[in-house]
Amino acid sequence: MKAFLHIGTEKTGTTTIQSFLAKNRQSLLDKDYLYPESPGKTNHFGLAIFSSNSNRCASIYQFLQLDTLEKVIQFKTKFPHILAQELTLSNCNKVIFSSEHCSSRLIDEQDIERLKNVLDTFFDDIEVIIYLRRQDKFLASSYSTAVRSGRTEKFKIPSKTTIEIRYNYYNILNKFANVFGKNKITVRIFESSQMIEGDLIQDFMNIIGLKMDNSYLSVSNLNTSLDVYSLEYIRLLNKNLKKIIKDNPDKYIKKIIKRLETYSYQYQNKQSLLLSEKMAREFMSLFEESNQKVANLYLNRADGKLFNNDFSRLPQQDISPITMNLKLLEITAFLLKDKLIRRS
């Protein structure tokens, strides 16, 4: 049997890929491909939980209510057996796994070896699939997700340790290559110009040997972006609303986020992006050498070019406090007007 192990990275459309695969389980089964449910209905977080020997999966434990060490051990003990049952019942020759947590939580080679060992039990061929996004765009998208999830701190460049673990793709790839073999790593770039037909799903399906046809149900892009002004508005709400509203303030923030997605749609231009051109170029300079190695060694690109390094959409300078304050007032007016219209 062959396994396709999609490990992210984060912020490269993994939610969209996973939703497509989950939504089309039956169509995939008809073509001898299994997208199993035992590691997780949509996101196969179970792979990371089983393989991790640290507290890096603590937030997943909390989400799954694995709130005691006994429950975590029980999950890890049962996991291979439950997976084995599902694989046997399916009788499929090809299996697709997908979880960005495999690249973000399994940062030690020992953890990756545990993952390979459990998969080796069932598969004689394992192909690792990884999508990479230009690091400055990854950084901005990560901050957006953090603010949506309740972050109160202002944006800042990550620590050197975080940069090496999370943003140095050469390091990530080397760890997986050391365990699975370099020839088993398929690297794709999260840019429409570098995807099959400029489409993420078609690109992914091509990797696993399938073509899109009418038997598959489509999914839309499931992550709606917010402009920098809306993000700052939400960050301030995260920081201050709990002081004003004691009864479930998160409920109100979620409603406001939904409305600000409409507001953000009107401001998708270079003035609404988080990083200035100067900041983005400085951040990307940290990865010039490592990105070139990835392009050379994993994509056989002699020119060493990994990403489209066009920074023209980015603002030329940081947003001034005056501009930010005016935009925050504009957002408040938008929300008030929106509420009045809905009431009328």
In terms of average pLDDT, the best of 219-223, 330-334, 335-339 is 330-334
pLDDT digits (tens, 9 = 90+) for 222-258: 667 889 999 999 999 999 988 888 788 888 899 999 9
Please give the full DSSP string across 314-332, using - where no structure is assigned.
S-SSPPPHHHHHHHHHHHH
The reply to whether CATH 1.10.760 applies to domain 2-207 is no
Taking alpha carbons only, the member of 264, 279, 26, 6 closest to residue 132 is 6
Query: Rounded to the nearest 5°, which phi and psi values hold at 266?
Result: -80, -10
| pTM for this prediction | 0.93
pLDDT digits (tens, 9 = 90+) for 28-75: 999 999 999 999 999 999 999 999 987 777 778 777 778 888 888 899
Q: What is the pLDDT of residue 55?
A: 76
Q: What is the pLDDT of residue 268?
A: 60
pLDDT digits (tens, 9 = 90+) for 75-113: 999 999 999 999 999 999 999 999 999 999 999 999 999
Q: Which residues make Cβ contacts (< 8 Å) with residue 62, sequence separation at least 6?
A: none
Q: Where are the domains of the chain?
A: 2-207
